[in-house]
Amino acid sequence: MVDGAALLQARFGIDLPDIDVPPEIAPLLDRRVTRRYTDQPVPDSLLDALLAAAQSAPTKSDLQQYSVIVMRDRARIKQIADWIGTMDWIATAPVFLVWCGDMRRNQRLCEQHGLPHANNNLDTFLNTAVDCSLAMAQFMAAAEAVGLGSCPISYVRSHIERVTPLLALPPGVYPVAGLSVGWPVFRRPVSMRLPPSVVVHRERYDDSAMPDHVRKYDERRRAREPVAPGGLKNNDVYPPREGVGWSENVARQLSVPERFGFAAYLRTRGFDLA
Q: pLDDT at position 158, please?
A: 94
Q: pLDDT at position 232, please?
A: 86
Alpha carbons 268 and 259: distance in angstroms, whole number: 15
Q: pLDDT at position 103, please?
A: 98
Q: pLDDT at position 127, please?
A: 98
Q: Which of 201, 198, 204 is nearest to 250 (CA)?
A: 198
> How distant, in Å, are the alpha carbons of 21, 69, 101, 114, 130 from that of 124?
36, 21, 10, 20, 10
Q: Give the residues of the chain that fall short of pLDDT 70.
A: 229
Residue range 33-188 in CATH 3.50.50.60: no
* Numbered ranges of CATH 3.40.109.10 in the chain: 33-188
Q: pLDDT at position 135, please?
A: 98
Q: pLDDT at position 174, please?
A: 97
Q: What does pTM read for this prediction?
A: 0.94
